[in-house]
């Protein structure tokens, strides 16, 4: 699956923000990484442009849970996300 959107912000080892432009009312996704007691805490936040867009995306949380399988380590997820973010084009 191809990435369709823009990287808005990449702060190495702490924050990635991108747009989802696969649909007209795509969300802006923010992923943050925080160290807590020697472990990495991953937070994913999606901001939808309207309530209708949020409701149209209902059910995506199941895919998100599958993508962040609890058997994967937070560090492994972080490394894959950062590697992917480093390959994204900078916003124009």
Residue 66 belongs to domain spanning: 7-84
Q: Give residue 92's pLDDT.
A: 46
CA atoms within 13 A on the CB side of 36: 8
**What DSSP element (H or E) covers 42?**
strand 39-47
Residue 73 within any structural domain of the chain: yes
Is 90 contained in some domain?
Answer: no
Structural domain includes residue 2: no
For the chain, what is the domain count?
1
pLDDT for 17-65, tens place per residue? Answer: 999 888 788 889 999 999 999 888 889 898 989 888 888 877 776 767 6
**91 domain residue, yes or no:** no
pLDDT over threshold 60, residue 90:
no
Domain assignment present for 38: yes
Position 89 in a domain:
no
* Per-residue confidence band for 89, with pLDDT thresholds at 50, 70 and 90: very low
What is the widest separation between alpha-carbon atoms in the chain? 40
Instruction: List pLDDT tens digits, range 70-80.
Output: 555 555 656 56
């Amino acid at each position: 699956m191809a990435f369709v959107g823009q990287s808005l912000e990449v702060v190495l080892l702490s924050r990635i923000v991108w747009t989802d432009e696969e649909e007209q009312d795509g969300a802006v996704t923010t992923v943050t990484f925080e160290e807590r007691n020697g472990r990495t805490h991953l937070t994913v936040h999606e901001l939808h442009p309207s309530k209708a867009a949020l409701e149209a995306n209902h059910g995506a949380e199941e895919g998100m849970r599958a993508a962040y399988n609890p058997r994967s380590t937070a560090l492994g997820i972080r490394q894959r996300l950062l590697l992917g973010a480093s390959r994204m084009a900078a916003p124009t």
